[in-house]
């Protein structure tokens, strides 16, 4: 396994990894209509946004270019209808969040609100411009921080049994000016070289807080991170109970004893994880029927 300091970032690889993960979720439980893909030129709400509006978000040119070309799990404009991308976790729909910024009467205040609800208040206090959160939700929603300088994703409160994590004890996260921080050999990555490393000029105490946070927050190479998530689903450590909700097999549910095994058995009966044979719609219908009959208290109201 590469050392953390040897990893590189590629916009093309990042878009491919996120796209592949979203498509995987539609094969298992999401409706095709729940995932939206950018047009060839990028999301209009981002690429055509006023420069002052985007500047209020405090993100680098590379972060904005990445967000403009990622697929998203559709924001329903009603939190109760949002589909989870992993247990208890809603991903951010950045093209929609930036629409909300453009419509706000106080753009800086709206940008700060969006940063806080995506990154959480702790990370927001020292977040460098080359990082962005992939998630957006309530207080309990996991926060996944993608770093376009180092090609990694941090998940501070990840399960202990996640594999191939890096810990950043030996990495200088603010190298001197002139250090290479990207594999920019392709057209997709050219904007990354244009970003000015303004984060080097931040107050030492702020940089210290960032480093302390990173040293306690496991990180993965971006493609490996999404493969890890997929593996949790393939092994049914995580499993859907419909088109919106995902359960963790390790969650203790006092009134749902036996529910986990029941749903896992139903998934396997419908040929999971063989995607060439898996019957998604039949499987999800069978799960809903079984939950209503045997474990009604475990039904997510969004699946009723």
170 and 221 inside one domain: yes
Residue ending a domain, among 231, 262, 285, is 231
287 and 141 inside one domain: no
Distance CA 264, CA 49 (A): 45
264 and 221 inside one domain: no
The pLDDT of residue 124 is 94
131 and 276 inside one domain: no
Torsion of CA 126, 132, 137, 141, to 10 degrees: -70
Strands 144-147 and 152-155: antiparallel
The pLDDT of residue 160 is 63
The pLDDT of residue 301 is 78
124 and 192 inside one domain: yes
DSSP string for the chain? ---GGG----HHHHHHHHHHHHHHHHHHT--GGGEE---TT--HHHHTS-HHHHHHTT--HHHHHHHTT--EEPP-SSGGGPPPSBTTB-B--HHHHHHHHHH-SSHHHHHHHHHHHHH-HHHHTT--TTEEESB--STTS--EEEETTTTEEEETT--TT--S-B--TT--SSPPTT-------SGGGGGGGG---GGGGS-HHHHHHHHHHHHHS-EEEHHHHHHHHHHHHHTTSEEESSSS-EEETTS--GGGTTHHHHHHHHHHHTTTT-TTT--HHHHHHHHHHHHHHH-GGG--GGG-
Q: Model-level pTM?
A: 0.89
Tally of domains within the chain: 2
N-to-C CA span, the chain: 45
Residue span of the structural domain in which 297 resides: 235-303
Partnered with residue 246 across adjacent β-strands are: 240
The pLDDT of residue 259 is 92
Distance CA 257, CA 37 (A): 39
192 and 81 inside one domain: yes
Ramachandran quadrant class, 120 (left: phi over 0; alpha: psi -120 to 50; beta: rest): left
Residue ending a domain, among 177, 198, 231, is 231
63 and 113 inside one domain: yes
172 and 207 inside one domain: yes
Write 142-146 long-range contacts (CB < 8 A, 24+).
142/86, 142/88, 142/89, 143/118, 143/119, 145/119, 145/217, 146/14, 146/222
The pLDDT of residue 7 is 85
The per-residue pLDDT string of the chain (304 residues; one tens digit each, 9 = 90 and over) reads: 566 677 899 999 999 999 999 999 999 999 999 999 999 999 999 999 999 999 999 999 999 999 999 999 998 666 667 899 999 999 999 999 999 999 999 999 999 999 999 999 999 999 999 999 999 988 889 999 999 999 999 998 887 667 666 665 445 555 444 333 444 445 554 555 545 455 555 678 888 888 888 888 888 999 999 999 999 999 999 999 999 999 999 876 655 678 999 999 999 999 999 999 999 999 999 999 999 999 988 888 777 6
244 and 222 inside one domain: no
257 and 225 inside one domain: no
94 and 223 inside one domain: yes
225 and 278 inside one domain: no
The pLDDT of residue 176 is 42
Residue ending a domain, among 231, 264, 281, is 231
Q: Are 97 and 114 in contact (CB under 8 A)?
A: yes
Strands 246-248 and 144-147: unpaired
């Amino acid at each position: 396994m590469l050392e953390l300091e040897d990893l590189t970032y590629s916009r093309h690889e990042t878009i491919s990894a996120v796209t592949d993960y979203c498509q995987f979720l539609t094969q298992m439980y999401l409706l095709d209509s729940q995932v939206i893909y950018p047009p060839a030129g990028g999301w209009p709400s981002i690429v055509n946004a006023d420069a002052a509006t985007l500047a209020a978000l405090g993100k680098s040119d590379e972060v904005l270019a990445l967000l403009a070309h990622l697929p998203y799990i559709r924001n329903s404009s009603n939190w109760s209808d949002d589909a989870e991308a992993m247990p208890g976790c809603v991903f951010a729909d950045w093209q929609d969040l930036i629409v909300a910024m453009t419509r706000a009467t106080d753009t800086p205040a709206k940008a700060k609100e969006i940063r806080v609800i995506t990154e959480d208040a702790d990370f927001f206090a020292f977040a460098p411009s080359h990082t962005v959160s992939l998630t957006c939700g309530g207080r309990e929603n996991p926060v996944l921080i993608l770093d376009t300088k180092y090609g990694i994703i941090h998940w501070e409160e990840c399960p202990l049994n996640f594999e191939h994590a890096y810990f950043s004890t030996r990495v200088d996260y603010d190298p001197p000016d002139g250090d290479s921080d990207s594999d920019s050999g392709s057209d997709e990555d050219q904007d990354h070289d244009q970003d000015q490393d303004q984060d080097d000029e931040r107050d030492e105490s702020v940089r210290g807080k960032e480093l302390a946070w990173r040293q306690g927050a496991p990180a993965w190479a971006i493609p490996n991170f999404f493969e890890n998530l997929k593996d949790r689903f393939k092994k049914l450590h995580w499993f859907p109970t419909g088109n919106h909700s995902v359960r963790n097999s390790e969650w203790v549910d006092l009134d749902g004893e036996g529910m986990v095994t029941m749903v896992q058995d139903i998934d396997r009966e419908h040929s999971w994880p063989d995607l060439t044979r898996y019957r998604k719609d039949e499987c999800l219908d069978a799960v809903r029927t079984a939950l209503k009959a045997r474990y009604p208290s475990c039904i997510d109201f969004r699946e009723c």
